[in-house]
A and B are shown apart, each in its own frame.
Chain A
C-alpha cells in the first residue's frame, strides 16, 4: 500500500469516526402528526433480560425523549407543519410547549407510554410512545404549600387501643386505654425531645417507644377525652393532651446522666471473644467496668466448637445478668453460617472474629445492651 493511500485511509477513518458516534447518540423519537396533535415514537433495545434491563431501558428511552424534546422537537414540528396542508393544525400544534413537557418527564410528572417489552436475540426491546395534544398542556398548577412540620400547639392528639381479651377484669378497659394513650404521647415527645436535643439524647431516640417513665401523670398539665369506641374485640380512646415539656426534659436529663455513669463488666472465653466484645462496646461508648462489683450489668460470653457431619461450627453464647444475678437477656449466633474442617485454635479465633463482625449481630447486641442500660437506670430511679 502506498503512503498516499494509507494517509487517505486514515483521513477517511478520522472523518467517519465522529459521524459514527453522532449516529449512535442520535437515537431519537420519530414525530408524526395525528388527529389529536403530535405523536412521538421510539423503539430501543438493550443487551440482556429481566427487570433490571427493562428499567434501564425505560430510563434511557425517557432520557432520549427529554433530549429530543428540549433540542430537536420544535424544528421537526416546523418541518412537518411546512409540508402539512391544514392551517388549523398549525395553530393548535404550535401551542405545544416542548420544553415544559421535557421538564415534566424529567421530574416524573409525566410518564411515557411503554408497550410490553419483547425480545430480539439476546436483546430486550421496548417501544415508547408519547402523544402531545394542545389541550393536554393545561397541567394542573402544582400545589406549592409549605406544610408546617413541627407542631406549634401545646395540645397534642393521642390515641390508644387495648385488646378486650387482655384487659384485666379488675382494671377497666377505659383506664388501660387512657394509660396507654398517655404513654404513647410521652413516647412521641421523648422522640421529639431526643431528636431536637441532638447528640445529648441520641441514645434515647432509638428506644423512645420502649422507655416507660414512672409517674407519667405528673408530666401532663391537662388532658381531655375526645372520644371512645368499644367493640367486642377492643376498646379505643382518643385524647387531647397538654404535656409539660420542661418536666419531661428534666426527667430525661437525669436518665441520661444515670446511663452515662452505668458500666458493664465483660467476662468471656476465649480471649479472642472478649477482645471482640470489648472493642464493640467501647466503639459504642459503653463504659466497661474493671470488676463485677463496680458494674451495673455483667455480660458473660463463651464460644465452643460444635462437631457436625461435615466439619466444625462455632457457637457463641452471650448472657447478661443484672446486679441481682438475674439473667435479663440471652443471645446466641447462628453457627451453621460457617463450617470449617478443623478446630485448631487459630481457626476458632477466625470464626469468632467472623461471627462477631457481622453488622446484624453487632447491632442486635449493642441495641439490646443500650436498652438494658436504660431499663436498669429507670428501675434504679
Chain B
C-alpha cells in the first residue's frame, strides 16, 4: 500500500513538473506600487521656489492646483465680489490652539501657561500679507481702544461709520492645532531640556462643522535645538532640584523658547500655504520676453515670483517657459527667463519677437507660481 502511494506521489510530481516547464508560463508577482518607509522625525523645512534663472528645461512643468478661471465675473469691489470671481477670497478668523502639553510635572506648568495670543496675532499678520484669505482679526483690544478714542472724539460720526461698516463675520476658521512636548535628561554633571512642537492646520466651516480638504498643510515639526543652541538649554540640579542654567520651571524662559519655535513653524506653514494655494493669472500679451498678466497683488502674486507660463488648450497644458514676475496692484509684469525647448514655445517666442503676441480664446496662456519666492523667504520670514 505504502509503495503504491509513493509511486503515485512521484508520478504526480513528475507530471506537474513537466507541465511547469512549458515555455509560455510566467511567474506572476503581486504588483507593488507603494514602498514601506519609517515615519520621519526630522524637523520640517521651508519649501522655497527656485529662482527662474536656476531652472533647467526639464524643470519647466505646470505645478499642482492652478486656478486660472477668468476675471470676467469680478466686480473688483472688496465687499461685493461675485462668488465666481477668483479674487473673492474666503473670509477667515485665525485660531492658534490652546496649550496641549505632554510633559512631566515640573515643566508642565510652565509650558501650559505659555500665552498664545501673540502667536495668534503674528499668524494673522503673516497670512494676511499673502492675500489668499481675508483675515478678520482677533485683536479686540486694539480695535476697542481705537473705537473708544473715536467715540470720545465724535460719538455720532463713529456710530454712523460703524453702522455702515459692520464687522465681517468670517466664513471659515483657520485653526492651527499644536502638540507641545517637553523632555529633559540628566547626565553625570548637568541636564538638557528639550522641547518639541508639532503643528497642523485646518480650514473649517463653523456652520457645517466640516474641515475642508484644501489647503492641506500637513504636519510641521519644530525642535528646540533649531532655535536654541545646546548650551543655552543646559541646567544643573542639586539634590534633584533646579540649581542653575536654563530654568525649565520659569514661564518666561519657556515662553521665549516656545514663541521662537512657533514662529519658525509658522514660517514653514506660510511657505507650504504658498505651494498649496499658488498664485495664478492669465497672460494678456507677450512682447519679446515680457509678459503682461491680468492680475497682480490682488491675486496674491508676490515680488520676484517664479511662475510657469503655460498654454491651455482643449483641457491640456503645455508649459512654454518660466518667468520672474513682479506685481502691481491689479496687474503684473514678468519676464520669461527661459523658454521651454518645444515647438509650441518656439512658435510663440517667434511671434512675440515680431510684436505683441495676444493669446486668443481657444488658446489661452496662463501663469502659475511654483511656491514661496526666495526673496520673500529671505526678507519677510
Asked whether B140 lies within 8 Å of A311 as measured between CB atoms, the reply is: yes
| Chain B residues, Cβ within 8 Å of A359 | 160
Q: Mark B62-97, 1 if CB is under 8 A from A, else 0.
A: 000000000100111100000000000000000000
Asked whether B284 lies within 8 Å of A120 as measured between CB atoms, the reply is: yes
Verify if B104 is at the interface (C-beta below 8 Å from A): no
Interface residue SS majority, chain A: mixed
Q: Measured between alpha carbons, how far is A183 from B210 in the docked complex, in Å?
A: 55
Complex interface residues of chain A between 323 and 357 (CB less than 8 A to chain B): 337-341, 347, 350-351, 353-355, 357
Asked whether A340 lies within 8 Å of B144 as measured between CB atoms, the reply is: yes
Q: Measured between alpha carbons, how far is A351 from B156 in the docked complex, in Å?
A: 9
Q: Measured between alpha carbons, how far is A340 from B155 in the docked complex, in Å?
A: 13
Asked whether B148 lies within 8 Å of A341 as measured between CB atoms, the reply is: yes
Q: Which of B171-179, B227-235, B307-315, B328-336 contacts A (4 or more CB under 8 A)?
A: B328-336
| Chain A residues, Cβ within 8 Å of B162 | 337-338, 354
Asked whether A354 lies within 8 Å of B155 as measured between CB atoms, the reply is: yes
Asked whether A119 lies within 8 Å of B284 as measured between CB atoms, the reply is: yes
| Chain A residues, Cβ within 8 Å of B163 | 337, 358, 360
Q: Measured between alpha carbons, how far is A339 from B158 in the docked complex, in Å?
A: 12
Smallest Cβ distance from B327 to chain A, in angstroms? 10
Verify if B151 is at the interface (C-beta below 8 Å from A): yes
Verify if B102 is at the interface (C-beta below 8 Å from A): no
Q: Mark B162-190, 1 if CB is under 8 A from A, else 0.
A: 11001000000000000000000000000
Give the total number of A-B pairs whose CB atoms are below 8 A apart: 81
Q: Measured between alpha carbons, how far is A338 from B296 in the docked complex, in Å?
A: 35
Complex interface residues of chain B between 112 and 159 (CB less than 8 A to chain A): 140-141, 144-145, 147-148, 151-152, 155-156, 158-159
| Chain B residues, Cβ within 8 Å of A9 | none
Asked whether A48 lies within 8 Å of B140 as measured between CB atoms, the reply is: no
| Chain B residues, Cβ within 8 Å of A121 | 284, 292, 328, 331, 333
Asked whether B156 lies within 8 Å of A353 as measured between CB atoms, the reply is: yes
| Chain B residues, Cβ within 8 Å of A347 | 148, 151
Asked whether A338 lies within 8 Å of B74 as measured between CB atoms, the reply is: no
Select B155's contact among A49, A50, A339, A350, beta carbons within 8 Å: A350
Number of chain A residues whose Cβ lies closer than 8 Å to a Cβ of chain B:
27
Verify if A310 is at the interface (C-beta below 8 Å from B): yes
Select A354's contact among B74, B76, B156, beta carbons within 8 Å: B156
Verify if B294 is at the interface (C-beta below 8 Å from A): yes
Using A50-B76, A119-B284, A340-B151 as known contacts, say yes or no to A354 and B330 having CB atoms under 8 A apart: no
In this complex, what residue of B is CB-closest to A51? Answer: B75
Q: Mark B244-285, 1 if CB is under 8 A from A, else 0.
A: 000000000000000000000000000000000000000010
Verify if A122 is at the interface (C-beta below 8 Å from B): yes
Asked whether A355 lies within 8 Å of B330 as measured between CB atoms, the reply is: no
Q: Mark A38-55, 1 if CB is under 8 A from B, else 0.
A: 000000000011110100
Asked whether B330 lies within 8 Å of A48 as measured between CB atoms, the reply is: yes
In this complex, what residue of B is CB-closest to A357? Answer: B156
Asked whether B330 lies within 8 Å of A338 as measured between CB atoms, the reply is: no
Asked whether A354 lies within 8 Å of B284 as measured between CB atoms, the reply is: no
Q: Measured between alpha carbons, how far is A122 from B331 in the docked complex, in Å?
A: 5
Select A122's contact among B145, B155, B330, beta carbons within 8 Å: B330
Asked whether A354 lies within 8 Å of B151 as measured between CB atoms, the reply is: yes
Smallest Cβ distance from A125 to chain B, in angstroms? 11
Asked whether A355 lies within 8 Å of B76 as measured between CB atoms, the reply is: no
| Chain A residues, Cβ within 8 Å of B77 | 50-51
Which residues of chain B have a CB within 8 Å of any CB of chain A?
71, 74-77, 140-141, 144-145, 147-148, 151-152, 155-156, 158-160, 162-163, 166, 284, 292, 294, 296, 328-331, 333
16 examples of A-B residue contacts, CB within 8 angstroms = A48-B330, A51-B75, A121-B331, A122-B330, A337-B159, A337-B163, A338-B159, A340-B147, A340-B148, A341-B141, A347-B148, A350-B152, A354-B156, A357-B155, A357-B156, A358-B163
| Complex A-B, nearest 4 residue pairs according to Cβ-Cβ distance, in ascending order | A50-B76, A357-B156, A354-B159, A354-B155
Beyond A50-B76, A339-B144, 10 additional pairs, beta carbon < 8 A:
A48-B76, A50-B74, A121-B292, A310-B144, A338-B147, A339-B147, A351-B151, A354-B162, A357-B159, A360-B163
